Amino acid sequence: MNFTTQMDAARKGIVTREMEIVAKSENMDVQELRALVAEGKVAIPANKNHKSLVPQGVGQGLKTKINVNLGISKDCDDIDKEMEKVKVALDMKAEAIMDLSNYGKTAKFREKLVEMSTAMIGTVPMYDVVGFYDKELKDISVDEFFKVVEKHAQDGVDFVTIHAGLNRETINTFKRNKRITNIVSRGGSLLFAWMELNQRENPFYEYFDRLLDICEKYDLTLSLGDACRPGSIADATDASQIKELMVLGELTKRAWERNVQVIIEGPGHMAINEIEANMLLQKRLCHGAPFYVLGPLVTDVAPGYDHITSAIGGAIAASYGADFLCYVTPAEHLRLPNLDDMKEGIVAVKIAAHAADIAKGIKGASQWDNEMSRARQELNWEKMFTLALDEEKPRKYRKESTPHHEDSCTMCGKMCSMRNMNKILSGKDINLLREDD
């Protein structure tokens, strides 16, 4: 039986190779997974032209996935440096990489990325439009917008961020409700500018079926972007954000009618006490579609540490239903991240994702923690390092400060609770002063 997309196959009762791989990696019955894909509650972004892909599922009942942003810009256009980041991100087991390139040889970088990446690849075609045509934004035609989307699809990217919910109604809502930080989405702000300069409707909203044609042809997952995501905690959960979210819910239904897989993108910056309600609202308004969040960053005052503000919000968001977390690095708001920034961002977001998986009761999530706890009780340092989310840093810390007694560390020494409890419970004596033990 023929099928066009993963959702089409699922609705026809077909279990695809991609579904089998995802079900096995998630310890889930494949028919249960197929049913979730058919409903749109799980997406398996897998472009037909991405041959190196190891498929991943995003959505209800699955492990929380993480995304790493990479790409070349006008100020930093070294493809080799970005490819080095790609290799490290894959080694660190990122499930997705978004190529946010906006200058220079973007097609060359994208093609190399798709060729080597086992992780799913996402892009924001809007970033590529100006450089692709070497034309000012105002002069880009509707046809040219769609040609860039199709080029990305042909190149094999698995999902594209399209800000189709920023229609004229959303813009009018934005204009009536003032914000501190206006529109902080890069793609959303460019699209807003094009609409205002040309006094036109959003082409991706006006010709949404044309977008779906491309997605259906390549099995390209549509990541409906949040142009009006809050860029400060003061702007969170406001009229603009919710208005756009309502439009995204309507577009989700239209996409599903065409068997096109959908992911919804979300905030942004947001106070901790608003996160739970936002996750529940998104799932309700967007019919249970997978939710992809940037952060949310829970305070605006920590530049240089926004991987931490983001991890706090991400852990809470995912525990209440977000399915996909975009990493944030210490360089957020400041510069293009370097390799070390990227590593710190990946570790932070992986901590958030795993913490949420424990809270959500994902199969096997807490087992990892239990193994680490047993290794600590046994004072088995090598096993602790092997189990660690980031093996490099704990090894480095241990090496930098060697204890006198191998079964302790330089903080507690012979007062180590694990060491002494093990001795007492096994019937042995302990001493804290003598040097013979």
Instruction: Give binding residues as ranges.
Output: 69, 98, 127, 163, 185-187, 226-229, 265, 269, 292, 333, 409, 412, 416
Distance CA 22, CA 313 (A): 27
Which amino acids are annotated as binding site for [4Fe-4S] cluster, given as ranges? 409, 412, 416
Strands 262-266 and 291-294: parallel
For 315-377, give the DSSP string.
Answer: HHHHHTT--EEE---TTTTTS---HHHHHHHHHHHHHHHHHHHHHHT-TTHHHHHHHHHHHHH
Residues 6+ apart with CB under 8 A from 279: 291, 317, 320, 321, 322
Distance CA 399, CA 385 (A): 12
Identify whether the C-beta of residue 91 lies closer than 8 Å to the C-beta of residue 349: no
Helix (H, G, I), strand (E, B) or coil at 121: strand
Distance CA 209, CA 5 (A): 16
Which amino acids are annotated as binding site for Zn(2+), given as ranges? 269, 333
Identify whether the C-beta of residue 56 lies closer than 8 Å to the C-beta of residue 86: no
Which amino acids are annotated as binding site for substrate, given as ranges? 69, 98, 127, 163, 185-187, 226-229, 265, 292
Identify whether the C-beta of residue 366 lies closer than 8 Å to the C-beta of residue 358: yes
Distance CA 294, CA 67 (A): 9
Nearest to 195 by CA among 233, 237, 164, 150: 164
Helices (H), 199-271: 203-206, 208-218, 239-257
Identify whether the C-beta of residue 353 lies closer than 8 Å to the C-beta of residue 63: yes
